Chain A
Amino acid sequence: MLLLGDEALAQGAIDAGMSGMYAYPGTPSTEIMEYVQRSKTAAEKNIHRKWSANEKTAAESALGMSYAGKRSMCAMKHVGLNVAADCFMNSSITGANGGTIVTVADDPSMHSSQNEQDSRNYGKFALVPTFEPSNQQECYDMAFHAFEMSEKYQVPILMRLTTRLSHSRSGVLPKQTMDQNGLKLPEDKRQFVLLPAIARKRYKMLLANQEKFEQESETSPFNSYYEGSDKTTGIIACGIAYNYLMENYVGSECPYPVLKISQYPLPRKHIEKITSECDTVLVLEEGSPMVEEMLKGYLGNCLKVRGRLDGSLPRDGELNPNLVLQAVTGKSPSVLSVPQIVAARPPKFCNGCGHIDAYNALIEVMKEYGEGHVLADIGCYTLAALPPFQAINSCVDMGASITMAKGAADAGMFPAIAVIGDSTFTHSGMTGLLDAVIENTNMVVMILDNSTTGMTGGQDSHAVDRLVSICEGLGVHKDHITRVVPLKKNHDEMVKLISQEINYKGLSVIIPTRECMQTLKRKTKANK
């Protein structure tokens, strides 16, 4: 089977008896759920495979399925784990019943993200075993291993992927498939009740298991120690960084001892061996210098450690074979340069996109008030930060448009405009709108409704046909909830409407609604 890393993990989970998959789309994790949704086996086995409203609801539902004794997985991008962190951190203490995997796809170098946080830190923070596959086959195999370990120790497992593995395809050999678990409630009916007295007990159990998790890492098939004759340097290569190292030794042997790590907590015995037999240790890891910091310690006066902290590797951004070669040997190839005439080609709105018409109207209205009044959100409509629009002034986290506009309005900014997409609104915008309803904040919320989760490729949006009733239900006055069709011919109507609602002293919601050009094209093609 030729599979993306994302797909290999999904196939592994299906074959390892997963009963439910929960996720909210986010690059580079989206293809995990999409694969399960396309899978005939998943349909035959009736595996749950609908999108969730956000990462928190996904993580909680997956934990609920584990509570009921079945194997479950939730998946998200790295920043999604911030949203799901409340559930994730506490689930390390409740523990699992049926095996459960929290899969997080990190995006070092921020190809399609707001930051490049390294989810392994969350694994360490929550004290749960963390897997970091180095190739597509490991993605597949680890699903089996992770479910098994999750049930053995009653603990959720963190599975960390990175962009280059999530979105790279290679051959995968499947294994014998497993049946799903039957329904089986936890033996201890108080296991999941985190009242302080119970939580303290469960936390001690988690702490007591740390040593066992370390032993599992020491015997894990995913962590290996390769002897080397040149002990001046020992190399610790985590996850996909191992491939970048070995790329430089195709057809030859790496002279240095190498410790490949794909399962955490760190395998203590292997770490002791490499640090005691080598003069210097070079740590290759994608993301933050987590292992490097652990080995170095605060004072850095006991062991010679090289990596991202001493400048052997860049402190930020993703690794590649050349950076690793440079760090190991000091060599770098001479390469051609990019001719000066090559112009940047930033992403932009698709031709005919409704967001263009909505922004054109907003830009015209805002001329009167000057720059700086539009707090926006995360989605295709964030592209309006770029020329020629340059129409928005923020993009922070899912839902932050509404609440930041509220805060700015509270501070006296007028007008205060929030721009958010339909799927982002049902992800995390609704609760913020409730805050604004309670105080009847003087602001205009524009929900740009393209009836899909656009930026990630057009996944189903929970908001379809529900936006007006949600806003009414939250308590926005129905005279100030208006839908318009963002088309060039309606430009004047939109300009008038936005001006009018800005001048209304209170909360207004404007919902420009027109389907995404990409999903429309796909539907038209399918109907042919």
Chain B
Amino acid sequence: MKKDIILSGVGGQGILSIATVIGYAAIDSGLSMKQAEVHGMSQRGGDVQSHLRISDREVCSDLIPFGGADMILSIEPMESLRYLPYLSSDGWVITNSTPFNNISNYPEMDDVKKEIAKIRNHILIDADDIAKNIGSPMSMNMVMIGAASDHLGIDFEKLEKGIRFIFGRKGDEVVNKNLEALKAGREFAGNFLKK
């Protein structure tokens, strides 16, 4: 088993909380992992990415090779496209559909959606909206993990355990909202693929 995942978004959106939860669940499942992230300049509203590698063998490179990623998990739609050279031919693009528009030349959303639709395996999910509906806009990232959960090669229960561990010190209410977000994301993805 090997899952190479590109996490992407915009500096400040918090892609690292996704890496932390999945990483915890992977280690808890007895898998090896490496996770390379970007610090410094680009964290100021620029494009950011993280390479998350999970395997039942030793992971060598900290970076995912081009054409090798099993998934691009993006919390911003245009950013999901920036990393397509990393995607393997049967890889998944799972992306939030709410744009983070902090540039003057952001493309038309319809064009972005068209490009995403060209990828055979894709899930487009309005994670911001789903998180708002359960009364926890901050849990958007957990909605995204939920949407990806069937393709991570990790048991759903382990992801739940990861959320309990990571958010535990913030109290039960925060933990439960994030667990709810995880489930909501998974449910949406299931329905999306049935369409």
Contact = CB atoms under 8 A, between A and B. Distances in A.
B32 A348 contact: no
B115 A341 contact: yes
A30 to B, nearest CB: 7
Contacts of B34: 168-170
B36 A347 contact: no
A342 interface: yes
By CB atoms of chain A within 10 A, which of B23, B43, B64, B68 has the most?
B43
A112 B39 contact: yes
Contacts of B86: 335
Given A336-B84, A341-B115, A170 B33 contact: yes
B44 A349 contact: yes
Interface in B27-57: 27, 32-47, 51, 57
B14 to A, nearest CB: 13
B67 A247 contact: no
Interface stretch (B99-107, B128-136, B151-159, B179-187): B99-107
B65 A320 contact: yes
Contacts of A170: 32-35, 59, 62
B84 A339 contact: yes
Given A111-B40, A337-B85, A339-B81, A168 B62 contact: yes
Interface stretch (A52-60, A238-246, A433-441, A477-485): A238-246
B175 interface: no
B87 interface: yes
B46 A348 contact: yes
B84 A247 contact: no
Contacts of B68: 321, 333
* Interface magnitude class on chain B: 35 or more
B71 interface: no
Contacts of B36: 164, 167-169
Contacts of B174: none
B82 A338 contact: yes
Contacts of A165: 62
Given A164-B63, A171-B27, A336 B85 contact: yes
Interface string A317-347: 0001110010000001111111101111111
A363 interface: no
Given A339-B115, A341-B115, A345-B103, A111 B38 contact: yes
Contacts of B39: 27-28, 30-31, 112, 167, 457
* Interface magnitude class on chain A: 35 or more
A324 to B, nearest CB: 9
A455 interface: yes
A169 B44 contact: no
B61 A247 contact: yes
A338 B40 contact: no
B42 A111 contact: yes
B27 to A, nearest CB: 6
By CB atoms of chain B within 10 A, which of A338, A343, A347 has the most?
A347
B57 A250 contact: yes
Nearest to B119: A336
Contacts of A246: 60-61
Nearest to B115: A339
Nearest to A319: B63
Contact of B10 (A31, A168, A345, A456): A345
A246 B61 CA distance: 8
A171 B60 contact: no
Given A2-B27, A169-B23, A343 B85 contact: no
B173 interface: no
Contact of A342 (B11, B12, B78): B78
A14 to B, nearest CB: 21
A112 B66 contact: no
Given A170-B33, A250-B60, A380-B44, A342 B81 contact: yes
Contacts of A244: 60-61, 63
B41 A27 contact: yes
B44 A348 contact: yes
Contacts of B63: 164, 244, 320-321
Contacts of B102: 345, 348
Nearest to B65: A321
A84 B18 CA distance: 38
Contacts of A380: 44
Contacts of A337: 84-85
Interface string B63-81: 1111110000000001101
Interface of A: 2, 27-28, 30-31, 111-112, 164-165, 167-171, 240, 243-244, 246-247, 250-251, 320-322, 325, 332-339, 341-350, 380, 383, 455-457
9 contacts: A165-B62, A169-B23, A244-B60, A244-B61, A247-B61, A335-B67, A336-B84, A350-B12, A457-B43
| Pairs of residues from A and B, 5 with the lowest C-beta to C-beta distance, nearest first | A112-B40, A27-B40, A347-B46, A333-B67, A247-B61
Given A246-B61, A345-B47, 15 more contacts: A167-B38, A168-B51, A169-B36, A171-B33, A243-B61, A244-B63, A320-B61, A325-B65, A337-B85, A338-B81, A338-B85, A342-B107, A343-B105, A349-B44, A456-B40
